[in-house]
Amino acid sequence: MRKENNTTKPGRSELSSATRPAAGHSGSFRSTVRYAFLSSLPVMAGYLVLGTGFGVLLQDKGYNWLWAALMSVTIFAGSMQYVAVDLLSGGATLIAAALMTVLVNIRHLFYGLTMLEKYSDTGWRKPYLIFALTDETFSLVCSPDLPEDVDRKNYYFFLSLMNQCYWITGSIIGAVAGAALSFNSAGIDFAMTALFVVIFVEQWEKTKQHLPAILGIAVTVACRLLFGTESFLIPSMLGILAAMFLIKGKDKKGEGGNER
Amino acid sequence: MIDPVHSLLLIAVIAGVTALIRFLPFLVFHKGTPKTVLYLGKVLPYAIMGMLVVYCLKDISITGSTHAIPEFLAVAATALLHKWKHNTLLSILAGTVFYMVLIQLVF
């Protein structure tokens, strides 16, 4: 859906209306930072809490706040870092970790595709903007309208940077607090399950095509029963890929019945 | 905690692959995206989230001492609360606390 937006959207005119061509740096620095901060407030709330959850989980597996900070600085991908806690504590192989990362983060390809044009002229900021393009940052930067006195490129930059700072801060708080507070943490792992259940429900409500979601569950349950807890993940991922191509073929047959 | 060197390698791989995926569109797909990639990008997120939910629950056992009742109750509670309130943080927090209460005090 986002891709369709991208191809039909008049990106150029949008760009020129957001930046005044005459002045290289339109918009005052101060109002840009201020606007970026205000826009980031909802993300601040979310990232502080989710980041804290990540830190607590990681700490619970014996990794201190330095590990949490390292991961939030270098990975900066929310759900993937929750999965990473499990990969780390379970001592996953590098191949399995790489495959898991591809599958969990494949959606980011489409954020990039959507932002190709908007980020095309951002200069030195561009590598960081691309690195820091999370779900939440994407949802903010892809909204089109900015006030007159805001510099678009700096807005993107500060917004991305602030969001990552919240995430890092949250994960350190979680790791430190988790270590300092002595409470019965049994069951706290469920935060990760709850996060994915919530995203699953959100996605379910956004589409009428439920077959991919159902197949995702069905294939994984089948592989879990067949291969056991240690080695079901890679078969599940391959099985899901195969299943997706299978239902794609069916779609084509249904549509293209009169093709030949 | 497992071997720190392997931990660092895992983090490097995860960080590297995540960055690669984020940079790929800017490096490769300037002009047109392969249809297969577009299709997978449309359907995979749904399937993968289903997979991740099952992955989180991989250690449950229907025949175990609690018959996986706390897990199913907590998943149902989280999903229903989210369908009702649509507040991500509330759903995660309440679902997790509910689960912790169940396994620590009830079962």
Give the contacts of A23 (CB within 8 A, at least 6 positions apart): none
Q: Write out chain B in H/E/C secondary structure.
A: CCCHHHHHHHHHHHHHHHHHHHHHHHHCCCCCCCHHHHHHHHHHHHHHHHHHHHHHCCCCCCCCCCCCHHHHHHHHHHHHHHHHHCCHHHHHHHHHHHHHHHHHHHC
Q: Are residues B56 and B71 in the same domain?
A: yes
The tokens for B45 are 């997120």
Which of A156, A187, A218 represents a domain boundary (last residue)?
A187
How many CB pairs lie under 8 A apart between chains A and B? 251
**Locate tokens 């797909």: which residue?**
B29
- Across chain A, mean pLDDT equals 83
- Spatial distance between the Cα atoms of A138 and B38, rounded to a whole number of angstroms: 18
Q: Are residues A134 and A237 in the same domain?
A: no
Q: Are residues A178 and A215 in the same domain?
A: no
Mean pLDDT by groups of 10 residues along chain B of 107 residues: 92 97 86 75 83 89 90 96 91 92 91
Q: Are residues B88 and B58 in the same domain?
A: yes
pLDDT band at A9 (very low <50, low <70, confident <90, very high): very low
pLDDT value at A94 more than 60: yes
Q: Does A96 touch chain B (CB under 8 A)?
A: no
Q: Are residues B8 and B53 in the same domain?
A: no
pLDDT value at A22 more than 70: no
The pLDDT assigned to A244 comes to: 92
- Spatial distance between the Cα atoms of A47 and A86, rounded to a whole number of angstroms: 20
The alpha-helical segments, DSSP class H, found in chain A are: 2-8, 11-18, 29-60, 65-74, 78-89, 94-105, 108-115, 126-131, 135-141, 152-180, 190-206, 211-227, 233-255
Cβ distance A202 to B41 less than 8 Å, yes or no, reads: no
Q: Are residues A214 and A128 in the same domain?
A: no
The pLDDT assigned to A188 comes to: 81
Residue A95 belongs to what domain range? 2-187
Longest Cα–Cα distance of chain B, Å, equals 58
Q: Are residues A105 and A174 in the same domain?
A: yes
The tokens for B84 are 């009702």
Within-domain flag for A6: yes
The answer to whether A189 touches B60, Cβ cutoff 8 Å, is no
Residue of chain B minimizing CA distance to A89 = B1
Q: Does A83 touch chain B (CB under 8 A)?
A: yes
The pLDDT assigned to A163 comes to: 95
Identity at A259, one-letter amino acid code: E
Best of A193, A208, A231, A255 to mutate (most B CBs within 10 Å, chain B): A193
Q: Are residues B9 and B45 in the same domain?
A: no
pLDDT value at A21 more than 90: no
Tell me the shortest Cα–Cα distance from A208 to chain B, in angstroms. Answer: 11
What's the DSSP call for residue B1?
Answer: -
Within-domain flag for A192: no
Q: Are residues A100 and A68 in the same domain?
A: yes
- Spatial distance between the Cα atoms of A9 and A6, rounded to a whole number of angstroms: 5
| Tens-place pLDDT, residues A186-232 | 888 788 889 889 889 988 998 899 999 999 999 999 999 999 987 88
Tell me the shortest Cα–Cα distance from B19 to chain A, in angstroms. Answer: 6
Q: Are residues A216 and A182 in the same domain?
A: no
Predicted complex ipTM:
0.89
Q: Are residues B43 and B86 in the same domain?
A: yes
Q: Are residues B65 and B19 in the same domain?
A: no
Give the contacts of A1 (CB within 8 A, at least 6 positions apart): none
The tokens for B19 are 């960055």
Which of A142, A159, A187 represents a domain boundary (last residue)?
A187
The tokens for A68 are 């949490």
Q: Does A226 touch chain B (CB under 8 A)?
A: no
* Cβ count near A70 (within 10 Å): 17
Query: Mean pLDDT across the stretch A100-121?
Result: 85
Give the contacts of A260 (CB within 8 A, at least 6 positions apart): none
- Spatial distance between the Cα atoms of B56 and A17, rounded to a whole number of angstroms: 46
Residue B16 belongs to what domain range? 1-32
Domain count for chain B: 2
Within-domain flag for A177: yes
Q: Are residues B55 and B94 in the same domain?
A: yes
Q: Are residues B28 and B76 in the same domain?
A: no
Q: Are residues A177 and A89 in the same domain?
A: yes
The pLDDT assigned to A54 comes to: 94
pLDDT band at A8 (very low <50, low <70, confident <90, very high): very low
Cβ distance B17 to A194 less than 8 Å, yes or no, reads: no
Within-domain flag for A100: yes
Q: Are residues B94 and B72 in the same domain?
A: yes
What's the DSSP call for residue A218?
Answer: H
pLDDT value at A23 more than 80: no
Q: Does A116 touch chain B (CB under 8 A)?
A: yes
- Spatial distance between the Cα atoms of B70 and A124, rounded to a whole number of angstroms: 51
The tokens for A248 are 């794609």
Q: What are phi and psi of A182, to 5 degrees?
A: -100, 105
Q: Does B33 touch chain A (CB under 8 A)?
A: yes
Q: What are phi and psi of A152, to 5 degrees?
A: -60, -50
Q: Are residues B88 and B74 in the same domain?
A: yes
The pLDDT assigned to B30 comes to: 65
The pLDDT assigned to B11 comes to: 97
Q: Are residues A74 and A148 in the same domain?
A: yes
Q: Are residues A96 and A161 in the same domain?
A: yes
Q: What are phi and psi of B76, to 5 degrees?
A: -60, -45
Q: Are residues B99 and B57 in the same domain?
A: yes
Domain count for chain A: 2
Within-domain flag for A162: yes
Q: Are residues A237 and A154 in the same domain?
A: no
pLDDT value at A170 more than 80: yes
Q: Are residues A250 and A134 in the same domain?
A: no
Within-domain flag for A91: yes
Q: Are residues A128 and A217 in the same domain?
A: no
* Cβ count near B5 (within 10 Å): 8
* Cβ count near A24 (within 10 Å): 8
The pLDDT assigned to A187 comes to: 84
- Spatial distance between the Cα atoms of B58 and A154, rounded to a whole number of angstroms: 44
Q: Are residues B63 and B99 in the same domain?
A: yes
Q: Does B73 touch chain A (CB under 8 A)?
A: no
- Spatial distance between the Cα atoms of A55 and A176, rounded to a whole number of angstroms: 8
Selected residues 156-175 of chain A with any CB under 8 Å from a CB in chain B: none
